Amino acid sequence: INQTILPDEVIIIDDGSSDDTVDKIHCFIEENFLDNWFIHRNQFNKGWKKNFMEGSQSCSNEFIFFCDQDDIWKPNKIEFLLKCLNDNANIEVICSDFVSIDEHGKKIISLPASNVSQDKLESVVFNIHNYYPKRMGCTFAVKRIFLNTAFKYWHENSAHDAFLWRLSSLNE
């Protein structure tokens, strides 16, 4: 909710939690009048790989931002990444930096921008050094048209972030 540009929709997919998570989310949505937030509860646990990729297919907008349940976004994340995507038609997947924190908010890991240098974007080229993703999927924003094509080739044993990272790095 704390974004300089609010999302057009938020899709939350519960992958079989056994506590009152879904009830808490419903209450949060109602209390904050979030008419564009939707929650779907899987009938059975699909696992995180399948949950992310299949869940992304229920999104209806041009850009999809992945998020994990414990993420805290900087207030301008959507605005900044949307500007990059809109200003650069050739970008199909973009990643942000992240800082890992513990339960007390203390920094554990910080990965500095490896693909951004003084407001200049740089492509990730597919090679042995970039085979494994340099960012987690929760930092990704993806164009819907690219995601639709990628979904045709995705296998349920593939992690969404690694698959999208590699596939997008093949394009120039």
Q: What is the pLDDT of residue 111?
A: 57
Environment class of 60 (CB within 10 Å of its CB; exposed 0-12, middle 13-18, buried 19+): exposed
Looking at residue 116, its pLDDT comes to: 46
Mean predicted confidence (pLDDT) in 78-107: 89
pLDDT of residue 126: 73
Task: Tell me the pTM.
Answer: 0.85
- In this predicted model, what pLDDT tens digit does every residue of 93-152 receive, in sequence order? 998 878 888 888 888 876 554 544 446 676 777 777 778 787 888 889 999 999 999 999
Collect all residues with Cβ–Cβ distance below 8 Å to 86 and sequence separation of at least 6.
none
Contacts of 166 by beta carbon, 8 Å cutoff, 6+ apart? 126, 131, 133
CA atoms within 13 A on the CB side of 169: 19
**pLDDT score for 115:** 47
Please report, rounded to a whole number, the percentage of residues in the chain having pLDDT higher than 70: 92
Token pair belonging to 49: 């790989």
Kindly tell me if the per-residue pLDDT of 84 is higher than 50: yes
Q: Rounded CA gap, 17 and 20, in Å? A: 8
Q: Is 146 left (phi over 0), alpha (psi -120 to 50) or beta?
A: alpha
Closest CA to 68 of 109, 33, 98: 98
Cα separation, 9 vs 11, in Å, equals 7
Predicted local distance difference test score (pLDDT) of residue 120: 64
19-72 pLDDT per residue, tens: 999 999 999 999 999 999 999 998 888 988 888 888 899 999 999 999 988 888
Torsions phi, psi for 48 (to 5 deg):
-65, -35
Residue 63 and residue 172: Cα distance in Å, rounded?
A: 19
**C-alpha–C-alpha distance, residues 11 and 99, integer Å:** 24
User: Distance (Å, rounded) from C-alpha 67 to C-alpha 73?
Assistant: 9
Higher pLDDT among residues 172 and 140, named by residue = 140
